Amino acid sequence: MIGRRKVCFRDISKFGEKQKDGQIPFTEINKLEKASEVFWDAIINAGSLVITCEFCGRTYFGSYSEGWYDEGELEDLRASAKKEPDKYIELYDTDSISWGYIDGRQAVYSCACNNVVKYENWIWQHRHLISQYLNKRVKKMKEDLKAEQYVTSQLKEVE
> CA 29, CA 27: separation in Å to the nearest integer?
6
* Counted domains in the chain: 1
Query: CB of 69 within 8 A of CB of 117?
Result: no
DSSP string, 1-58: -BTTB------GGGG----TTSPPPSS-----SS--HHHHHHHEEEEESEEE-TTT--
What distance in Å separates the CA atoms of residue 4 and residue 79, rounded to the nearest whole number? 64
Kindly report the pTM of this predicted structure. 0.69
pLDDT tens sequence across 120-132: 999 999 999 999 9
Per-residue pLDDT for 114 more than 90? yes
Residue 5 banded pLDDT, cuts 50, 70, 90: very low
Rounded Cα gap, residues 114 and 124, in angstroms: 16
Q: Is residue 77 part of a domain?
A: yes
Tell me which residue range forms the domain holding 108. Answer: 28-125
pLDDT at 109 over 80: yes
Of 93, 85, 95, 86, residue with least CA distance to 51 = 95
Higher pLDDT among residues 51 and 7, named by residue: 51
For residue 143, is it within any domain? no
In the predicted model, is pLDDT for residue 72 greater than 80? yes
In a domain, 23, yes or no: no
